[in-house]
């Protein structure tokens, strides 16, 4: 028997960080993303974001590959946005960021995701991502933030 507690904070953006995610359907998208995550076998603990990106806090199984989960979530949700919402120009940006979250920090990360609207009144999504990468010691190419 294996015992695991694998929580991952994932962040992914719209193509070119365009403000594609309209407030009028943002909650529906977040609910749909939760369903996509459940379909992969993950447990969505929190989903939120603003017009140009999404944060997902997921509990994962030991057999999951984060790249496969994210590929599936982004592919299925993009198709749904095109078909259900008629947003033909919508696309997710290639790639994502993912950070491990210890059980003791899950409530803190969940609260952080809940405060996205407030948070982004002061900070761009690029600056937020840079801060997250630095906080987690992830080396990044500054050219992607120009």
Alpha carbon distance 127, 106 (integer Å)? 22
Q: pLDDT (tens digit, 9 = 90+) per residue, 15-24?
A: 999 999 999 9
Closest CA to 61 of 19, 136, 5: 5
Cα end-to-end distance, the chain, whole Å: 47
Contact 54, 121 (CB under 8 A): no
Work out the angle between the directed axes of helices 66-85 and 23-39 (0-180°, nearest 10): 140
What mean pLDDT comes out for the span 55-75?
A: 97
Q: Can you tell me the mean pLDDT for 1-15?
A: 94
The model's pLDDT over 20-37, given as tens digits with 9 standing for 90+, comes to 999 999 999 999 999 999
Query: Regarding the domain delimited by 6-137, which CATH topology (the fold level of the hierarchy) does it fall under?
Result: Alpha-Beta Plaits (3.30.70)
Please state, rounded to an integer, the average pLDDT across all residues of the chain: 95
What lies within 8 Å, CB to CB, of 71 at 6+ separation is: none
For position 38, what pLDDT does the model report? 97
């Amino acid at each position: 028997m294996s015992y695991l507690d694998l929580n991952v904070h994932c962040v992914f953006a719209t193509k070119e960080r365009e403000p594609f995610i309209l407030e009028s359907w943002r909650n529906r998208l977040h609910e749909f993303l939760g369903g996509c995550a459940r379909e992969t076998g993950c447990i969505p603990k929190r989903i939120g974001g603003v017009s140009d990106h999404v944060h997902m806090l997921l509990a994962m199984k030991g057999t999951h590959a984060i790249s496969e989960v994210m590929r599936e979530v982004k592919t299925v949700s993009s198709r749904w946005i095109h078909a259900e919402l008629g947003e033909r120009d919508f696309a997710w940006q290639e790639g994502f960021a993912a950070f491990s979250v210890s059980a003791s920090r899950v409530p803190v990360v969940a609260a952080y995701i809940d405060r996205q609207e407030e948070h982004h009144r002061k900070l761009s999504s690029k600056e937020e991502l840079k801060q997250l990468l630095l906080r987690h010691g992830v080396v990044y190419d500054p050219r992607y933030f120009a």
